[in-house]
Amino acid sequence: MVGAACAYYAARSGLTVTVLDRGPVAGGTTGAGEGNLLVSDKEPGPELELALLSSQLWRELAELLPPVTEYEPKGGLVVASGEAGMAALRDFAAGQENAGVTAHEIPADRLHDLEPHLTPALAGGFHYPQDAQVQPALAAAHLLKAAGERVRLRLGEEVTGLLTGASGEVRGVRTASGEVHGPYVVNAAGTWGGELARLAGVELPVLPRRGFVLVTEPLPRVVRHKVYAADYVADVASGSAALQTSAVVEGTPAGPVLIGASRERVGYDRSLSVEVLRRLAAGATALFPALAGVRVMRTYAGFRPYLPDHLPAIGPDPRVPGLLHACGHEGAGIGLAPATGLVIARYLTGGEPLLDTAPFRPDRFPAAV
């Protein structure tokens, strides 16, 4: 998704772009995501700025992309089970509102107006109308298509090395079937971005953080917003390798309800964890008791590209002229993709930066010894 957005905005700025992927379109983390476009889970700071810009860009893109991409500005609803949680949410939302986020407090007795099937045992919540959702694989595929003739797709082609000039500047990439020349290379390899950086001789410590998603049988709209428990925010921000789960529940236009979210650092292990399934299911049925009899059709694991400070790497790499990074967005890559793409396009065309990208500098991590 991030690569597609970079290609789209670069092409719109007049550049010609070749998109290389060793697999198909949306074959990596994009294809395993839920397609969340969230501002609600981000504390004030550089990531929230990026998310707010993205939120606006997504609304523009939604006009352009066909309806099958399922863009839905449905809003998020964060709920707390007790008064302490509610007080914490209130503080969090106050900070966000200063940064430009719209958040409405919903008292316990009004939650049912928004979500009729929600458990009555809650202290209240906050409604975030700017939260939205999109079908990520279709959005990526149609965004590439919308980019038009300036974008060429070369799928099933793995980058095996970088081509460099006399002074170490990037001249293109090498693949199994030949060379692709260009003055700029954008690393949008997501969870595998660290490997691509290594091909260029630089270190970018992207690590996979596994998450499972449960997908139910198709239902009518039982869940109208993206609904999640307050502890999700803490889990997103945490760096722990241990398993964390928090209940995140949302319906989709196609019918199935998606249930997350788990986070654990276990490398690229896809094997089924019954404990994760148990916790996700228990969390979802605690929020929506009516879901207890609904069947889970399938489950799958995906790998979020995670950097140690939970911020993505966006922008030129001062260590290798011509190399730019656009990866490490963790679980927010779909949401942050358009702003990332636009920022990258500005760098490529020498335009004015849109926002302060210093916190996303790719070389901000001390080199591993």
Partner 1 sequence: MPTSASEPYDLAVIGAGPAGLSGAVTASESGLSVALLDTSGQVGGQFYRHPAPALGAVRPEALHHDWSAFTELCRRQRASDIAHLAGHHVWAVTREGGGVWAVHAVTGADGDGERPVCVRARAVLLATGAYERQLPFPAWTLPGVVGAGGAQAMLKSGLALPGRRVVVAGSGPLLLAVASSLAAAGARVPAVVEASGYLRYARHPRVLAANPHKLAEAATHGAALLRHGVRVRTRSAVIQVHGTERVEAVTVARLDPSWRPVQGSGRRIECDALAVGHGLVPQIELATTVGCATRRTADGTTALALDDLQETSVSGLWAAGETGGVGGAQLAQIEGELAGTAITARLLGRPRLARSGRVDELCHHRDRMRVFADVMAAAHAAGPGWAHWLTDDTDVCRCEEVTAGRVREAIDDLGARDARTVKLLTRAGMGWCQGRMCGAAVACLAAGGGAVPPPDERRPLAVPVPLGVLGALGSPQGAAVAAEGAEAVVVAEGLRAAEATERGAVPDAADPAGKADG
- By CB under 8 A, tell whether 142 contacts partner 1: yes
Pairing of β 36-37 and β 124-128: unpaired
- By CB under 8 A, tell whether 295 contacts partner 1: yes
Q: How far apart are the first and last CA of the chain?
A: 32
Sign of CA dihedral 72, 344, 366, 204: positive
Place of tokens 């409405």: 104
CB closer to partner 1 out of 244 and 273:
273
Q: Which of 67, 120, 178, 220 binds partner 1 (CB under 8 A)?
A: 220
Closest approach of Cβ 301 to partner 1, in Å? 8
CB closer to partner 1 out of 59 and 152:
152
Closest approach of Cβ 114 to partner 1, in Å? 18
User: What residues are paired with 17 via a beta bridge?
Assistant: 151
* Nearest CA among 319, 233, 231, 327 for reference residue 283: 231
- Written as six digits, the tokens of 40 are 């609600």
Q: Which of 1, 79, 101, 284 binds partner 1 (CB under 8 A)?
A: 284
* Nearest CA among 6, 10, 35 for reference residue 21: 6
* Nearest CA among 240, 231, 233 for reference residue 263: 240
CB closer to partner 1 out of 86 and 280:
280
CB closer to partner 1 out of 4 and 52:
4
- Written as six digits, the tokens of 287 are 């929020």
DSSP code at position 106 = E
Binding mask 85-114 for partner 1 (x = CB under 8 A): ------------------------------
- By CB under 8 A, tell whether 290 contacts partner 1: yes
- By CB under 8 A, tell whether 278 contacts partner 1: yes
Q: What is the dihedral of CA 83, 89, 94, 95, to 10 degrees?
A: 140
- By CB under 8 A, tell whether 82 contacts partner 1: no
Judged by CB under 8 A, which stretch of 100-108, 171-179, 229-237, 281-289 contacts partner 1?
281-289
Q: Which of 107, 282, 351, 353 binds partner 1 (CB under 8 A)?
A: 282
Q: 219: which residues sit within 8 A by CB, 6+ positions away?
A: 251, 255, 256, 257, 294
Closest approach of Cβ 287 to partner 1, in Å? 11
- By CB under 8 A, tell whether 176 contacts partner 1: no
Q: Which of 87, 94, 155, 176 binds partner 1 (CB under 8 A)?
A: 155
Closest approach of Cβ 3 to partner 1, in Å? 11
Q: Which of 39, 204, 261, 294 binds partner 1 (CB under 8 A)?
A: 294
Distance from C-alpha of 369 to C-alpha of 361, rounded to nearest angstrom? 20
- By CB under 8 A, tell whether 292 contacts partner 1: yes
Determine contact, residues 248/226, Cβ cutoff 8 Å.
yes
Q: 262: which residues sit within 8 A by CB, 6+ positions away?
A: 210, 211, 212, 243, 244, 245, 276, 279, 280
DSSP code at position 310 = S
Determine contact, residues 257/294, Cβ cutoff 8 Å.
yes
Q: Which of 297, 318, 353, 358 binds partner 1 (CB under 8 A)?
A: 297
Q: Which of 40, 55, 187, 216 binds partner 1 (CB under 8 A)?
A: 216
- Reported residue count of the chain is 369
The contact set with partner 1 (CB under 8 A) reads 23-27, 31, 137-138, 141-142, 144-145, 153, 155-156, 214-220, 222, 254-256, 259, 271-272, 274, 277-278, 280-285, 289-300
